[in-house]
Structure 1
Amino acid sequence: MRASLAASLMLTAALLAGCDAAPAQVERVEAPLPSVRSEAVQLVPDEVRYRFPGVVRASERAAPAFLHGGVLRERHVVRGQRVEQGEPLATLHNPAMAPAFAAAEARVRELDASLNRLGRDVERARTLRERNLSAEEELDRLRSEHEALAQAREQALAQRDEAQAQLEELTLRAPFAAEVTDLDAEPGDFVTAGQPIMRLAGIAEREVEIRVPANLATRLEPGQMASVVPTFGAQRIAGEVVHVGRAGESMAPVIVAIPVQNAPALGEPVRVQLEIAARAATRVPLAAVVDPAGSAPYVLALNDDDTIRRASVTPGRLAGGWVSVNGEGLAPGDRVVTAGQGRLEEGMRVRVLP
């Protein structure tokens, strides 16, 4: 019994000694890398938006006037009326026009009668000459008189046409389809030659004239698109630059055409927005900028081995979720972290999610 107990104790001691002699096996587990998402830095052509005030006006405008002075006899239109091309607008009374036309008409009739009589004399003299009953000189004289009289008739016709045209000018007609916007003279008023009688605005097209600094005008071209927004509204109207004038006193006139459909009323103030190309800009997603409103904004860029480096930036214009930035150490094509920036430090390796 005692021998058996002693044997058990010796076996136990041997097992304990063997356990102490075996080296300890410790399993080491590596921590997972932080996961991030990234986007590539872009280099895109930049555009700068400029806004200029203007007033809507008709592309066709006129201030009709008479070629001669006289008394305004009748006005056929009222303010706000629409007229078609060639429609009578006003009539002038000039006592010298009608008698001049009547005299020119009478002179033409007189010469026509003389030409008919002289033509018969020429035919009679030719017949007598063929029968050798008159001299050749008499026939030549009659022919010369007939030719001179024909030339006098041509001059009389020209004078009659001129008098008729001046008489027709006593009726003022619309040069194009338009709306009467203002009236400058009333029936009974004496008007001089060239004095405007009314103001017309064409109904076909609308435009806005703005003044642009010379350095910007040189970068504009006809056909370039523009946006027109009423000063007291939110409607945006697509326009087109149709004319760029020369700069005078550092400002150049620019004409922007807009469609008549849904166009603001004539005389309504608007703002014209022009987008002018600027030098290419580097931009990153807004989510990549850390502390964009702080005093030292920066982005976390990824090296080729997926380690973090910090790049200070100066945010610029925001458009479509991307912001233009200026900063050293950041080039187009570089990857910047857009998600997972928390607890990241410079030099730390990360895992980039697809």
Structure 2
Amino acid sequence: MARGGRASHAALLMLTAALLAGCDAAPAQREGVEAPLPSVRSEAVQFVPDEVRYRFPGVVRASERAATAFLHGGVLRERQVVLGQRVEQGEPLATLHNPAMAPALAVAEARVRELDASLSRLGRDVERARTLRERNLSAASELDRLSAEREAVAQAREQALAQRDEAQAQLDELTLRAPFAAVVTDLDAEPGDFVAAGQPIMQLAGVAEREVEVRVPASLASRLEPGQAVSVMPTFGAQRIVAEIVHVGRAGESMAPVIAAIPVHSAPALGEPVRVQLEIAARAVTRVPLAAVVDPAGSAPYVLALNDDDTIRRVHVMPGRLAGGWVSVNGEGLATGDRVVTAGQGRLEEGMRVRVLP
């Protein structure tokens, strides 16, 4: 029994020593295991030229427009077109009755015929006088007189021809013709009405090109130039049409007209309201992804920037304009190429080291 008791006592002592040794080694093992670093994603800070967008309302109109009128007064005899009709260049639109035009042409034509007869007679007289002079049967002064008279009649005939052509042109002006291919958009006079010279008879809108005019502040107009691209969007639609500035007016300190040409194949209908978006280059700005800004609507928004050793530093910023998922910021401590955390900001503190995911 004595030997068995001693053996049991020795085994107990060994077990106790082992337990004590195990308790001493556990803290050492725990101290040797490092906690995993927080994982984050990042993007580089950009310094890029900014663009400011302005939108102005306008109405689509034809690039070619005309308020057709007669050169002379008279009574509107006939109108050959109706509202909304398409007409081609040179097509008759309306005719005017002016009782003075036809008699003036008749008088001019009679004058030309009279001078033609006189010129023919004088031509024969000159030839006869020349023959007599060659035979020494008449004086040289007679031939000279007849030659001078024929020359005077020839000049008078040239004037009469010009007067006849003018009378014919004025008579032709009694027929109003389309100056270009167009659509009749308005009728201003009815057959039987007396119209004065220059009074509009109808309104035409060309079918070849479309444009829109907007009025912009003079300070903005000074930064625009012909050939610059703009966007045109229907007021009640999402379509975006690329147009081109063709004219920039001058208006001193007030509003200046700006005209943009719209491609015909994609142009909205005449009279449709649209919005014209002008994109003006501005000074370069610092911008970061919107996801990098913490508490952007709060009183103290900030971003978490990464140092070279992947430690965190907090940079307070003032967010600006948002475009395409990036926001311009104004804050000291950010430079082009600096990395900012875009994902995994939760529980990150100043000076904490992180693991940047690719």
What TM-score, normalized by structure 2, do the two folds share?
A: 0.91
Q: Does 1:111 align with 2:127?
A: no
Q: Quick check: 2:302–2:316 contact (8 Å CA) kept in 1?
A: yes
User: Partner residue of 1:84?
Assistant: 88
User: Partner residue of 1:146?
Assistant: 150
Distance across 2 between alignment mates of 1:248 and 1:256: 20
Q: Quick check: 2:219–2:253 contact (8 Å CA) kept in 1?
A: no
User: Partner residue of 2:45?
Assistant: 41
Unaligned 5+ segments in structure 1 are none
Q: Does 1:136 align with 2:124?
A: no
User: Partner residue of 2:256?
Assistant: 252
Distance across 2 between alignment mates of 1:287 and 1:187: 71
Q: Which amino acid letter does the alignment assign opposite residue 191 of structure 2?
A: P
Q: Does 1:352 align with 2:356?
A: yes
**1:1-354 to 2 correspondence within 5 Å?**
26-27=28-29, 28-248=32-252, 250-354=254-358
Unaligned 5+ segments in structure 2 are none
Distance across 1 between alignment mates of 2:311 and 2:266: 57
Task: Report deviation, 1:237.
Answer: 2.0
- Regions of 4+ moved over 6 Å: none
Deviations, residues 168-188 of structure 1 (Å, cap 9, x unaligned): 111111110011111111111
Task: Report deviation, 1:130.
Answer: 1.5
- Match of 2:34, SS state, is coil
Q: Which amino acid letter does the alignment assign opposite residue 281 of structure 1?
A: V
Distance across 2 between alignment mates of 1:238 and 1:202: 21
Task: Report deviation, 1:109.
Answer: 0.8
Deviations, residues 178-216 of structure 1 (Å, cap 9, x unaligned): 111111111111111110111111011111111101111
- Count of residues in correspondence between the two structures: 352
Q: CA RMSD in A?
A: 2.7
Distance across 1 between alignment mates of 2:239 and 2:46: 32
- Match of 1:116, SS state, is helix
Distance across 2 between alignment mates of 1:184 and 1:114: 49
Distance across 2 between alignment mates of 1:144 and 1:308: 111
Task: Report deviation, 1:249.
Answer: 5.2
Task: Report deviation, 1:144.
Answer: 0.5
Distance across 2 between alignment mates of 1:349 and 1:233: 50
- Match of 1:344, SS state, is coil
